[in-house]
Amino acid sequence: METLSFQFPAGQPAKGRALVGCVGSGDLEVMLEPGQAGTLAIEVITSVNGSAPRWQLLFERMFREQQLPALNIAIHDFGATPGVVRLRLEQGLEELSHG
């Protein structure tokens, strides 16, 4: 198991919380909650050691296209593919936008 931390610029804190996915399914779980203004903080707990560069590139691609609200995002990964990670993050962000 490996724990990774990432930070990106963000806007004002999100107004709600979201939980998507389920680590028990062999997938991953993403929890989003309001963060500190100006900061998008991500913590990834993954079963795949040495995967930090892959996570960094995925987040950079996702977040350069949009400015997100300030969030604390916790990801519990059990070897999900980058496509699944992106899908779960997008699901969580959409859930926040409806709350």
Q: In the beta sheet, which residues pair with residue 45? A: 3, 76
pLDDT of 25 over the 80 cut = no
pLDDT attached to residue 99:
64
Q: Please tell me which residue, 79 or 10, carries the higher pLDDT value.
A: 10
pLDDT of 24 over the 80 cut = no
In angstroms, the CA 54 to CA 96 distance is 25
Task: Give the pLDDT band (50/70/90) at residue 64.
Answer: confident
In angstroms, the CA 2 to CA 15 distance is 30
Q: Which secondary structure element, helix H or strand E, spans residue 92, and what is its range?
A: helix 82-98
Task: Give the pLDDT band (50/70/90) at residue 26.
Answer: low
Task: Give the pLDDT band (50/70/90) at residue 71.
Answer: very high
pLDDT attached to residue 11:
95
